[in-house]
Every structure is written in structure tokens, then in C-alpha cells.
């Protein structure tokens, strides 16, 4: 059986524009996501590992992957369901041992949650929608 490759994906989310007003219970602003728009995955057995790397998290809050659907693929994803390794790491296995004649793209969403350090019922989710690309067997990778 071939070895499984690990495909790392950094999910950098900057919350500097996000704030919470505890007097009005209102959230304002949106975070900036820095996630590859497309993550190329070569033919074979792969484990895609998403690691949350939050920045400028509002005081009193923690940034975590949404425990219900931190990474959620649209229908048609040929791999296994994403599973939480920790609140900041999610992984999913795929089996692209039979690559397609042309590249295929699989859409998914990233859901990141700000949760209060003192009140777990106080939280807000933020989403981003990148892709995983199952590369064709005809592609050649060149280091640049």
C-alpha cells in the first residue's frame, strides 16, 4: 500500500477589524482570511491537515474551528469526512489513487468561531470558501 502524504493548509485569520460590544451585545467587522484559494493535491493517498493560525483575536475571546463544521466539503467530495484533531486542527483523508484525466476541484468552507473565554454560549462564526484540486495524472510539478 502506498504511503499517505500529508498536505498542510494554514488557515490564517486576522480578527483586527472584529469587535464585540458587551453593552449592546453586537458584533462589528469581519476578519481577513489568508487561506490558499486552491490547494493542489497529487494523485495517491493524502491527508489534508488544516491548522488555524489566528491573529489579533479580540481580548476575552479564543479563535477555534467551528466544532460542527470547521471544514465542510460540498457534495461530491470523494474523501473521508473532516475530523477535529483539536480546536485548531482538522484533517481529512482522501484516496486519489485513480487520478482523473483532467483536474477536478472540490469546494469546501472554513468556519472559524470566536468564543468567549468566560461564557461558552457567547460566540460568533465567520466563514471562507476555498477549494481542493485533485490534479490530473498528466500534470508535472516543477520546483521554482
Domain that holds residue 105: 4-134
Residue 82 lies in a domain: yes
Indicate which CATH number applies to the domain containing 107: 2.60.40
Residue 142 lies in a domain: no
DSSP 29-70: ---EEE--SEEEE-SEEEEEEEEEEEESPPTTEEEEE-TTTS
- pTM metric for this prediction: 0.86
Could you tell me the pLDDT band of residue 141, with boundaries at 50, 70 and 90?
very low
Residue 134 gets the label, from left (phi > 0), alpha (psi -120 to 50) or beta, of beta
Report helix, strand or coil for 5: strand
Q: Mean of the per-residue pLDDT values for the chain?
A: 86
Could you tell me the pLDDT band of residue 2, with boundaries at 50, 70 and 90?
low
Number of domains in the chain: 1
Mean pLDDT of 85-100: 87
| Cα(128)–Cα(90) distance, integer angstroms | 15
Tens of pLDDT, residue by residue over 8-17, are 999 999 999 9
Give the pLDDT score at 63.
98
Residue 15 lies in a domain: yes
Taking 90 as the threshold, does the pLDDT of residue 18 lie above it? yes
Q: Compare 9 and 134 and report the one with higher pLDDT.
A: 9
DSSP assignment letter at 141: -
Amino acid at each position: 500500500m502506498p504511503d499517505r502524504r500529508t498536505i498542510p493548509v494554514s488557515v490564517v485569520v486576522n480578527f483586527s477589524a472584529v469587535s464585540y460590544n458587551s453593552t449592546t451585545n453586537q458584533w462589528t467587522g469581519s476578519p481577513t482570511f489568508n487561506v490558499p484559494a486552491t490547494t493542489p493535491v497529487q494523485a495517491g493517498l493524502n491527508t489534508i491537515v488544516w491548522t488555524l493560525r489566528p491573529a489579533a483575536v479580540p481580548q476575552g475571546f479564543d479563535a477555534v474551528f467551528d466544532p460542527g463544521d470547521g471544514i465542510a466539503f460540498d457534495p461530491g467530495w470523494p474523501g473521508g469526512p473532516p475530523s477535529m484533531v483539536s480546536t485548531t486542527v482538522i484533517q481529512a483523508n482522501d484516496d486519489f489513487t485513480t487520478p482523473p484525466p483532467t483536474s477536478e476541484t472540490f469546494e469546501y468552507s472554513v468556519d472559524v468561531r470566536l468564543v468567549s473565554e468566560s461564557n461558552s454560549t457567547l460566540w460568533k462564526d465567520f466563514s471562507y470558501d476555498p477549494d481542493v484540486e485533485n490534479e490530473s495524472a498528466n500534470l508535472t510539478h516543477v520546483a521554482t
